[in-house]
Amino acid sequence: MGPMRVVIIGGGILGTAHALAAVRRGHEVVQLEREPEARGATVRNFGLVWVSGRSATELDLTLRSRELWEELGGKVPGVGFRPAGSITLVRTPEELAVASAAAASDSAEARGFELLEPERVRAINPALRGKYLAGLHCSTDAAVESRQALPALRAYLAASERYSFHAGTEARSVTDTGSGATVLDDQGRAFTADLVLVCPGAAHTGLTRELVGAIPVRRVRLQMMQTAPLGEPLTTAVADGDSFRYYPGFAGPEVDALEREQSQTATAAEHRMQLLCVQRLHGGLTIGDTHEYTEPFAFDVDEAPYEHLTSVTEELLGRKLPPIVRRWAGVYSQNVDPAAIVTRAEADQHVWVITGPGGRGMTLGPALGEETADLLGL
């Protein structure tokens, strides 16, 4: 089959990753985004390429995505790829038991796990001068700069001369023509395609619902914050022991014991919290996060989780945080089946809807784009 014309609806990481996969295989891509620039989960995340907590069934795909991000980072410096790794700091015997089991697991080598004494933690990340028993180091974790990655990737795609991006363009209808499909936008333009990929993020209504009805996805809301520059390097991403509760890669009797024997603080339990912290290229820290599953979501942000995150981060750093300069909330799309990595729903012969990676869009984007291209014969 010769080069195809692919229209992608949605300008977030999943849509852009599919554009990358198609352009790399020699196809022509037109991408439509209803906002002037993506403003959903893609830019409201940590920029983490997070291998450490992925389940065994996701691990190969995650490692492939990590490889693709490193390759992209070499070609597109604006992505801000850095193979920084992560350290999950443990503060109780129950958390230490989980970390020890992870470091001894069958997948420990593939993930780059090593359990470190506090002195070795500080040798790798000298900013961690606070109180903790040990650190689970994951050398394969990495980071990209989420707020600048997409414009950089689009510039790279545009240089191929087989890619165009239409900002401020809302797709109103998609019609399968038998030999392909036609997309009509809100400016009266028609885009013909051999294949249409709709990557709507957390927009499950409107066009998504018209095309595929109810799909097995839910929306998840989180809160995060950004500090002023730290004034010193935070050489790895940092997590706390609560994160063991939320990542399937750690599941097992040790996590069961942690849940049974060690309660989260009232605030952390109410907001289903874990600490994740990563330093941005400008030196500030992005810190989160919370998990909210029951809609309707609030339109405002709650202060108590920020106080909890500040106090945990300060305990681990052994110092006061710089001033908080931004706070925000975001919503992402998650498949309701914990075993499902992404939702691909066939709307028609030449039209697919793809969403629901569940907070893993940045981590898995490049590999999911590649996987879709394989599945659909691109």
In a domain, 307, yes or no: yes
- Each residue's pLDDT tens digit, 71-114: 999 999 999 999 999 999 999 999 999 999 999 999 999 999 99
Domain that holds residue 364: 5-42+147-216+339-376
Q: Above 80 in pLDDT, residue 1? A: no
Residues 56-77: what's their mean pLDDT? 97
Q: Which two tokens stand for residue 42?
A: 């893609």
Clarify whether residues 107 and 173 are in a common domain.
no
Q: Above 80 in pLDDT, residue 184? A: yes
In a domain, 330, yes or no: yes
Residues 228-236: what's their mean pLDDT? 98
Q: Above 90 in pLDDT, residue 2? A: no
In a domain, 347, yes or no: yes
Residues 286-314: what's their mean pLDDT? 96
Clarify whether residues 225 and 359 are in a common domain.
no
Q: What percent of the chain has pLDDT over 70?
A: 100
Q: Does 296 sit behind a cis peptide bond, omega within 30 degrees of 0 on the bond before it?
A: yes
In a domain, 350, yes or no: yes
- Each residue's pLDDT tens digit, 104-121: 999 999 999 999 999 999
Clarify whether residues 227 and 367 are in a common domain.
no
Mean pLDDT computed over every residue of the chain: 96
Contact 153, 75 (CB under 8 A): no
Clarify whether residues 297 and 236 are in a common domain.
yes
Clarify whether residues 225 and 315 are in a common domain.
yes
Clarify whether residues 184 and 327 are in a common domain.
no
In a domain, 59, yes or no: no
Tell me how many domains the chain contains: 2
Clarify whether residues 197 and 162 are in a common domain.
yes
Task: Please name every residue paired with 238 in a beta bridge, in sequence order, or none if there are none.
Answer: 87, 277
In a domain, 355, yes or no: yes
In a domain, 109, yes or no: yes
Clarify whether residues 280 and 328 are in a common domain.
yes
Q: Which two tokens stand for residue 109?
A: 């080598």
In the three-class reduction of DSSP (H, G, I as helix; E, B as strand; rest coil), residue 180 is classed as coil
